[in-house]
């Protein structure tokens, strides 16, 4: 700790830094005239902030989705947004949404290999380290200004979890809200959402946003053939799919300081009979709560220095109720009991980054970060004997890290970007990860990037310590971090006035992958066993035309193999996307169509979840009546039947996904 404070002090003295956080990069190629006036008021102006990086100069392959696109394509969750982006795919086990990127999404995965942030604040918790992208995501998507998606490893800036990519969600500023807003929506499966928001910039310079959202979905009834027997309600999970949440968000900014507090509590009922629970039992459910408070300072102590500091306090709690039948004690009269998981997780931390610019062509960023997970409790017990704990793991761990990034123009149009970060964990020790990029702009409209990166993911508390006394899962405290090394080449170019084209090819090698296995007793256990080689190529085209026509199309080919040369499970070989918006009338009415093709995926049991194409269509109108925005969307327009491969916790090997569904939404601003 002493060395750390010395280091911090040294850093301050140097007043170096930088944040060339790739994720702070501005949206590329956005047509500003398509933005709302509120969005315009909140965009960063390049000439004014010398430290921001152009997307084309960032040492990564980046996509940006703006609030305008989110609205026009009718995205309901962060998962919907990410699904529309090149190379991303999702799966849903009717509990949590899982994200796949670069062909990697092992069934049952908890999204630990993507770092999710809200305005730069880490959302991944300290037990499961999940990037929560479904209805469990902390922020109402209506409050999103834009989403920046950085592909490839970024551990050299962000540490653990920044393994395959970083998703940074930027929230709407008070001035962009500009008053009060109420929004209500209704959708298929008895789904309703209501939101009230107030935001403004006041004469004294204070900017404020306060917002609250309630969501409730009755859900569907399902027929699962795996459970088709009279003992298990003939395979029918009768209204066991409910999903409800309450969330709030607030942000106050004055001078260089921004204070944010946000939270969500979500309850999801489980229709799938996961973990061998009693099928169709009403008790089966999970409750996730996530809260945080974050104080950030941004300032320029000198003309060429920019300083960002952050202090935060975070809370995550989870409860899982699972109903089981006991046939062992008395096979003639089996009895039902509820097994409960209770997780409590709290941490605080801080971060300090300084960027210093030397001349126009050289930029150095240095940062230090510390997180103290002072409460990491996992418990498990049966309601029949609440005092006899089957699991009672209480831990306190911490991590500190130092990082440095150097961005130098070594010749006209040629930028070298190198970065390194050292993370030191109280559990397994230190790990150091470098990254390098060569970026060449031979002409203003053309960019080439050659990227080399390494990253790690620390084993989570859950992977190391969770066990329900051996009923379904065993612990493994000896886990080591898993590692990845990547190479990628990217070329981006504008074609004429309307198009931008990008191609990239990559090779990833993952070693010591932490993977859920079945041990000899048929219990789940996490082990550093697998190694994976992933290679692929991506092509995307972006087009914008006068009058509001816009679109983007992408195609991803990928081939991920494990050490024995087998194709990975839940890894499609082909992903293709096409998003189009067209103006319908009077600059205010638009149609947004998105189609997504995901190729066939192998399931855990060796079956194949067939490839599928989905189409979603949304019509939006702005100022239908003064101040009133309306939208109507159809999802899975053609009612295509498809399923996602699932993890070991489910008996359903391939779980059927939603058919055609609808949503109507009204938002009134005043």
Partner 1 sequence: MKPNSKGVARVVILALALSGLIPGPAPGETPAFQEYQVKAAFLYNFAKFVEWPSEAFASPESPMVLVILGSNPFGDALKNLRGKTVNGRQLVVRMAESVEDVDPSHILYVGESEKGKLSHILKTAEKRNILTVGDSEGFAQRGGVINMLTEGSRVVIEVNPEAAQRARLTVSSKLLALARIVRAGRR
Q: Which residues bind partner 1 (CB under 8 A)?
A: 25-33, 35-38, 40-49, 52-56, 175-176, 178-179, 200-201, 203, 442-446, 448, 485, 487, 489, 491, 493-498, 500-501, 503-507, 509, 535-537, 544, 546-547, 586-587, 627, 669-670
Nearer to partner 1, 107 or 536 (CB): 536
* C-alpha torsion 408→412→413→417, nearest 10: -10
Please say which residue, 445 or 519, places its beta carbon nearer to partner 1.
445
Distances 27 to 24, 30, 133, 230, 577 between C-alpha atoms, Å: 9, 6, 21, 56, 20
CB of 443 to partner 1, least distance (A): 5
Distances, alpha carbon 102 to alpha carbons 454, 497, 505, 623, in Å: 15, 30, 11, 40
Least distance CB 177 / partner 1 (angstroms): 9
Cβ proximity to partner 1, 68 vs 288, nearer residue = 68
- At which residue do the structure tokens 């039902």 appear? 336
d(CA 635, CA 19): 39
Segment holding 82, helix H or strand E: helix 78-83
Cα distance between residue 209 and residue 205, in whole Å: 13
The nearest distance, CB 109 to partner 1, in angstroms, is: 24
Least distance (Å) between residue 304 CB and partner 1? 16
How far apart are the C-alpha atoms of 23 and 242, rounded to whole Å?
35
In 359-413, beta strands by DSSP E:
362-382, 389-411
Looking at the Cβ atoms of 471 and 503, the one nearer to partner 1 is 503
| DSSP, residue by residue, 498-531 | TEEEEEEEEEEEEEEEEEEEE-TTS-EEEEEEEE
397 or 485: whose CB is closer to partner 1? 485
CB of residue 257 to partner 1, shortest distance in Å: 13
Nearer to partner 1, 204 or 564 (CB): 204
* DSSP 3-state of 179: strand
Name which of 334 and 442 has its Cβ closer to partner 1.
Answer: 442
How many angstroms separate the CA atoms of 340 and 326, rounded?
15
Task: Name, in order, each residue with C-beta under 8 angstroms of 476's C-beta and a sequence gap of 6 or more.
Answer: 463, 464, 525, 526, 527
Between 24 and 294, name the residue whose CB sits nearer to partner 1.
24
Q: How far is the CB of 162 from partner 1 (least distance, A)?
A: 19
Q: Given the complex with partner 1, which of 221 and 446 has the nearer CB atom?
A: 446
Rounded distance, CA 201 to CA 191, Å? 33
- Tell the smallest beta-carbon distance from residue 39 to partner 1 (Å): 9
Q: Give 2 or 443: the residue with its C-beta nearer to partner 1.
A: 443
Least separation, in Å, of the C-beta of 367 and partner 1?
20
User: What string of DSSP letters covers 593-635?
Assistant: EEEEEE--EE-TTS-EE--EEEEEEEEEEEEEETTEEEEEEEE
CB of 141 to partner 1, least distance (A): 22
Residue count (the chain): 670
Shortest approach of partner 1 to residue 531 CB, angstroms? 13
Residue 602 neighbours by CB under 8 Å, 6+ apart = 567, 568, 569, 570, 571, 608, 609, 645
Structure tokens at 601: 């995926």
What is the nearest approach in angstroms of partner 1 to the Cβ of residue 576?
Answer: 18
Cβ-based nearer residue to partner 1, 29 or 398: 29
Max Cα-Cα span within the chain = 82
User: Closest CB to partner 1 among 489 and 666?
Assistant: 489
DSSP string of 324-359, one letter each residue: EEE-SS-TTS-EEEEEEEEEEEEEEEEEEEEEEEET
CB of 398 to partner 1, least distance (A): 31
Query: Over the range 364-381, which residues count as b (16 or more CB within 10 Å of their CB) and which as e?
Result: bbbbbbbbbbebbbbbbb
Please report how close the Cβ of residue 138 comes to partner 1 at its closest, in angstroms: 25
Q: How far is the CB of 169 from partner 1 (least distance, A)?
A: 19
Closer CB to partner 1, 574 or 638, in the complex: 574
Helix-, strand-, coil-residue percentages of the chain, each rounded to 5: 10, 55, 30
Q: Which tokens is 438 given?
A: 């060569």
Distance CA 68, CA 345 (A): 36
Collapse the DSSP code of 41 into the 3-class scheme (helix H, G, I; strand E, B; otherwise coil) and give the result. helix
Q: Which residue lies nearer to partner 1 by CB, 64 or 118?
A: 64
- CB nearer partner 1, residue 182 or residue 664: 182
Cβ distance to partner 1 smaller for residue 485 or 517:
485
**In the complex, least distance from residue 242 CB atom to partner 1, rounded to whole angstroms:** 38
Give the neighbor-by-neighbor strand order of the sheet with 144-151. 61-66, 144-151, 165-171, 114-118, 121-122
- SS (HEC) of 99-121: EEECCECCCCCCCCCEEEEECCE
Structure tokens of 340? 């409960």
Kindly list the distances between the CA atom of residue 542 and the CA atoms of 24, 26, 47, 374, 498, in Å, as whole numbers in the listed order: 21, 16, 25, 46, 8
How far is residue 361's CA from residue 3's CA, in Å, rounded to a whole number?
32
Distances from the Cα of 487 to the Cαs of 86, 154, 403, in angstroms?
18, 13, 21
Q: State in angstroms the smallest separation of the CB of 656 from partner 1.
A: 35
Structure tokens at 521: 């007793």
């Amino acid at each position: 700790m002493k060395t750390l404070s010395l280091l911090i002090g040294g850093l301050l003295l140097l007043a170096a830094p930088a944040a060339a956080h790739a994720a702070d990069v501005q949206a590329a190629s956005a047509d500003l005239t398509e933005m709302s006036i509120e969005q315009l008021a909140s965009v960063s102006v390049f000439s004014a902030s010398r430290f921001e990086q152009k997307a084309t100069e960032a040492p990564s392959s980046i996509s940006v989705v703006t609030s305008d696109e989110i609205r026009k394509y009718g995205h309901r969750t962060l998962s919907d947004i990410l699904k529309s982006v090149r190379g991303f795919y999702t799966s849903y086990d009717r509990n949590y949404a899982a994200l796949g990127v670069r062909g990697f999404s092992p069934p049952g995965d908890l999204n630990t290999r993507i770092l999710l942030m809200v305005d730069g604040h880490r959302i991944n918790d300290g037990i499961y380290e999940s990037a929560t992208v479904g209805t469990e995501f902390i922020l109402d998507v209506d409050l999103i200004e834009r989403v920046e998606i950085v592909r490839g490893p970024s551990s050299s800036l962000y540490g653990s979890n920044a393994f395959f990519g970083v998703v940074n969600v930027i929230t709407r500023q008070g001035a962009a809200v500009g008053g009060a807003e109420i929004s209500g929506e209704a959708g298929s499966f008895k789904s309703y959402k209501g939101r009230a928001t107030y935001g403004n910039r006041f004469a004294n310079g204070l900017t404020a946003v306060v917002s609250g959202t309630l969501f409730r979905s009755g859900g569907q009834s399902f027929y699962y053939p795996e459970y088709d027997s009279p003992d298990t309600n003939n395979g029918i999970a009768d209204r066991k799919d409910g999903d409800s949440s309450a969330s709030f968000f607030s942000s106050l900014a004055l001078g260089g300081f921004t204070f944010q507090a946000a939270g969500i509590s979500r309850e999801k009922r489980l229709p799938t009979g996961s973990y061998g629970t009693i099928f169709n039992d009403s008790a089966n459910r999970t409750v996730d709560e996530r809260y945080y408070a974050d104080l950030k300072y941004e300032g320029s102590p000198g003309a060429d220095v920019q300083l960002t500091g952050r202090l935060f306090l975070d809370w995550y709690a989870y409860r899982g109720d699972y109903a089981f039948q006991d046939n062992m004690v008395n096979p003639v009269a089996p009895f039902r009991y509820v097994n409960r998981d209770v997780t409590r997780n709290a941490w605080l931390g801080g971060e300090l980054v300084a960027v210093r610019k030397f001349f126009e062509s050289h930029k150095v960023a240095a940062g230090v970060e510390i997180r103290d997970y002072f409460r990491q409790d996992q418990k498990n017990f049966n309601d029949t004997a609440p005092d006899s704990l089957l699991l009672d793991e209480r831990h306190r761990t911490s991590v500190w890290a130092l990082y440095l990034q150097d961005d130098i123009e070594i010749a006209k149009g040629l930028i070298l970007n190198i970065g390194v970060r050292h993370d030191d964990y109280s559990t397994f020790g230190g790990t150091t990860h470098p990254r390098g990029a060569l970026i060449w702009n031979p002409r203003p409209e053309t960019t080439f990037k050659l990227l080399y990166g390494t990253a790690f993911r620390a084993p989570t508390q859950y992977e190391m310590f969770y066990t329900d006394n051996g009923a379904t899962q065993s612990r493994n405290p000896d886990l080591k971090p898993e590692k990845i090394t990547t190479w990628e080449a990217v070329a981006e170019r504008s074609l004429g006035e309307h198009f931008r084209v990008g191609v990239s090819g990559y090779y990833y090698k993952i070693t010591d992958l932490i993977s859920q296995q079945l041990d000899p007793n048929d219990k789940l256990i996490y082990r550093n066993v697998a190694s994976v080689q992933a290679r692929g190529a991506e092509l995307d085209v972006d087009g914008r035309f006068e009058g509001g026509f816009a679109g983007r199309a992408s195609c991803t080919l990928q081939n991920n193999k494990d050490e024995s040369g087998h194709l990975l499970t839940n890894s499609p070989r082909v992903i293709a996307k096409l998003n189009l918006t067209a103006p319908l009338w009077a600059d205010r009415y638009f149609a947004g169509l998105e189609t997504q093709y995901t190729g066939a995926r192998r399931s855990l049991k060796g079956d194949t979840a067939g490839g599928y194409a989905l189409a979603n269509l949304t019509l939006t109108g702005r100022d239908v009546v003064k101040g009133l925005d309306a939208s109507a969307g159809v999802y899975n327009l053609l009612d295509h039947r498809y399923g996602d491969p699932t993890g070991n916790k489910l008996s359903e090997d391939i779980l059927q996904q939603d058919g055609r569904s609808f949503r109507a939404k009204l938002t009134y601003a005043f």
